[in-house]
Amino acid sequence: MYRIGTECFLLSLPIQEIKIQSSNIVQDTSNNNNNNNNNNRKSYKYLGIEERFDIQHKNEKEKLKKEYLGRLRLVLGTESSAKNKIQAIESLPVPVLRYSFGIFNWHQEELQKLDWKTRKLLTIHGQHHPKADADRLYVPRKQGGRGLLQLEAAHAVEITKLVEYVDRKTH
């Protein structure tokens, strides 16, 4: 049960088991089966990201997008107030992507598309009027907006924090 503001609501999120997939590395004397060697490498899941010799960015980003949109639909399906739904969006779906900002290379177009899908889902669930100003969603509540966190801004903040942390540790 999550408590946001004055309302409580239950969210049932799917719990995934950590599965370690491993297979033996087949060593071939010929260079013809390079693709087979890459497919047989050991893989494991660490902090929700499947890792191998190389991280498959495209596949993992698609999984993260699906998880984000699934959690967003879950939050928007609750019978909470608009304020509580916005707060729940910042605490459940957005951290899924925030964690990955320092790991994967996210392009601005991808983040803009996810923001567009977020606004579309808000409209479908009756939280945003189709003709209303989209920028007002991202203005803080104290200034008359809705207080939704823009994914591009969250990406910029996370990357800046990561760069500052690395600079502090190296000097």
What are the extents of the domains in the chain?
A: 2-170
HEC readout, 44-60: EEECCEEECCCCCHHHH
Say what the pLDDT of residue 119 is.
94
Q: Which amino acid is at 100?
A: S
Q: Along the chain (171 residues), what's the average pLDDT of each consecutive run of 10 residues?
A: 54 48 44 49 65 71 93 94 93 91 90 95 93 92 92 93 90 77
Q: How far apart are CA 27 and CA 34, in angstroms?
A: 10
Say what the pLDDT of residue 89 is.
94
Q: How far apart are CA 119 and CA 69, in angstroms?
A: 11
Say what the pLDDT of residue 22 is.
44
Q: How far apart are CA 48 and CA 44, in angstroms?
A: 10
